[in-house]
Structure formats: C-alpha cells, structure tokens
Amino acid sequence: MKAIWLSDNFSYSIAIRGQGDLYDTYGLGDDDIKKLVTAIQ
C-alpha cells in the first residue's frame, strides 16, 4: 500500500507493508493512511 503526493515542490510518500503473505491485513485502514498524510502536510 502506497500514498504518493506532491506539495510545494516536494515529493512525499508513505509505504506500508504487511507481515506474511499477500492475504494478511496491513493493520492500517484508509482512514489511518489519510490521517498520516494530513499530519505530514
């Protein structure tokens, strides 16, 4: 799961990896990722 965005001539990204195989959950939902992006902006 990745979030990538540009702001004020800077590039930002967040990469979240689960543990185990592709069927495991990541532990962060969409709302959690939005909160992280908002906090960084």
- Number of domains within the chain: 1
Which of the four pLDDT bands, split at 50, 70 and 90, describes residue 30?
confident
Instruction: Judge whether residue 24 has pLDDT over 70.
Output: no
pLDDT at residue number 13: 86
Residue 21's domain comprises 2-40
Query: Long-range pairs for 23-29 at CB < 8 Å and ≥24 separation?
Result: 26/1, 28/1
Q: Give the pair of three-digit tokens for residue 40.
A: 């960084």
Mean pLDDT confidence for 14-25? 66
Quick check: 41 and 7 in contact, CB under 8 A? yes
Instruction: Judge whether residue 18 has pLDDT over 60.
Output: yes
> In terms of pLDDT, which residue wins out, 10 or 32?
10
pLDDT at residue number 26: 59
Q: Would you give the distance in Å from CA 9 to the centre of its chain?
A: 20
